[in-house]
Structure 1
Amino acid sequence: MRGGVDGGRFREVLGRFATGVVAITALDPGDGRPCGLAANSFTSVSLDPPLVAFCVAHTSTSWPRVRAAGTVTVNVLGEHQRAVCLRLASRGGDKFAGLGWTASPGGGPVLDGALAWMDCAVEAEHPAGDHVIVVARVLRLDTYAEGGPLLFFRGGYGRFAKPTKPREPTEPTEPN
Structure 2
Amino acid sequence: MNTSSPRAASPAFDSGHFRQALSQFATGVTVITTRLADGTFRGLTASSFNSVSLDPPLVLWSLKSQASSMPVFSGNSHYVINILAADQGHLAKLFSTRTEDPFGQVEFELSRTGHPVLKGCTAWFECHNRSRYPEGDHVIFVGEVEHCEFNPREPLVFHGGRLGGLHVPAA
TM > 0.5 fold call: yes
What percentage of residue pairs aligned between the two structures are identical?
37
Structure 1 residue ranges, 4+ long, deviating more than 4 angstroms after superposition:
162-165
Q: Which runs of 5+ in 1 are unaligned?
A: 166-176
Query: What residue is the counterpart of 2:22 in the other structure?
Result: 14
Q: 1:15-73: CA deviations, max 9, x gaps?
A: 110000111101111x2021111110100001111110001011221232233331101
Residue from 13, 22, 36 that aligns with 1:5: 13
Q: TM-score, normalised by structure 2?
A: 0.87
Separation in 2, partners of 1:84, 1:161 = 19
Query: What residue is the counterpart of 1:157 in the other structure?
Result: 163
Query: What residue is the counterpart of 1:45 in the other structure?
Result: 52
Report which stretch shifted further, 33-42 or 63-72: 63-72
Query: What residue is the counterpart of 1:110 in the other structure?
Result: 117
Q: TM-score, normalised by structure 1?
A: 0.85
Separation in 2, partners of 1:102, 1:43 = 24
Give the number of the structure whose alpha-carbon radius of gyration is greater. 1
Residues 151 and 158 in structure 1, CA contact (< 8 A), matched pair in contact too: yes
Return the offset for 1:163: 4.3
Q: Which amino acid aligns with 1:20?
A: G
Return the offset for 1:130: 1.2
Residues 22 and 42 in structure 1, CA contact (< 8 A), matched pair in contact too: yes
Q: 1:134-160: CA deviations, max 9, x gaps?
A: 1111111111x4421010001110111
Return the offset for 1:95: 2.4
